[in-house]
Structure 1
């Protein structure tokens, strides 16, 4: 599979949004592969991680986030499950789950129902090692044009996750320890 060919089916390669998405996704892939190599003893699938990291945000064009050039009809939080739907149609069900489960540090069905989030009522939390690694790596990079290539510190990430509850910070902290991030 060629992740960039899949992305080009949905994004104009000459657009600013394509440049933002691909830059962000490449940085996430590099970080995810570095993490995976540190935990090689766990047997992560490096080829899959590289592909999934490039594709994890493919659904953003269907959302409203004009600051980066997204003019779709859905709230940004929906980009994960929308990406899942796209990749399932493309015949990549395993990659599709990474899309759905990478938002935040994962979103539970209970959170979706309690907070009345505009998402399908199901657990959207990373389950496999590869899903966790891509989700973890994604937290270090923004799609904000002014911050696109800057890697966030773990403390910055924890601070941004804190508004969603201590369990989110705890999940990220556990990944920091598990994945040997300093």
Structure 2
């Protein structure tokens, strides 16, 4: 398995961002698996060693399962694309017919942190929303999903 240096650097920054978010969540009293989110941040884009398209989450999960990694780590890779992808959109996009929305808090943290990191630069939610609007269109449902993810994570941090 080999990803290019840009992807590796991106994953390192995502992992650092994940840990920052996770530490804030832990300070709020919410229990999360720090090691899982750290590894999820590092390995979420492992599927890019095979493809750079929307299938990289599915491919990453497959690779992690084949290599014997835990299922909860494979699901982080599988569910981090976009702001998650519901069944209906997955079918349209040619993905396996299932729901790819992040479910656990650990999955949500990695998905969210990945969106905040553009290349190796940490951005903010306004940047992410604008980027989604430019790339996907201003009314794309992913925009509402990322806003919801942001609100959920911020409400946990601020509780």
Instruction: Output one character per residue of 1:132-161: Cα deviation in whole Å (capped at 9) or x when no partner.
Output: 11111101113xxxxx32222211101223
Deviation for aligned residue 1:126: 0.6
Distance 1:179 1:21 in 2: 29
State the structure with more CA Rg: 1
Q: Extract unaligned runs of 5+ from structure 1.
A: 1-9, 12-16, 66-75, 143-147
- Whether the 8 Å CA contact 1:108–1:122 is kept in 2: the answer is yes
Mapping of 1:38-53 within 5 angstroms?
A: 38-40=24-26, 41-53=29-41
Gaps of 5+ in 2: none
What is the CA RMSD across the aligned residues, in angstroms?
1.8
Using the size of structure 2 for normalisation, the TM-score is 0.85
Q: State the number of aligned residues.
A: 149
> Equivalences for 1:1-182 in 2 at 5 Å?
10-11=1-2, 17-40=3-26, 41-63=29-51, 65=52, 76-92=53-69, 93-113=71-91, 116-142=92-118, 148-162=119-133, 163=137, 164-165=140-141, 166-175=143-152, 177-178=154-155, 180=157
Scaled by the length of structure 1, what TM-score is found? 0.75
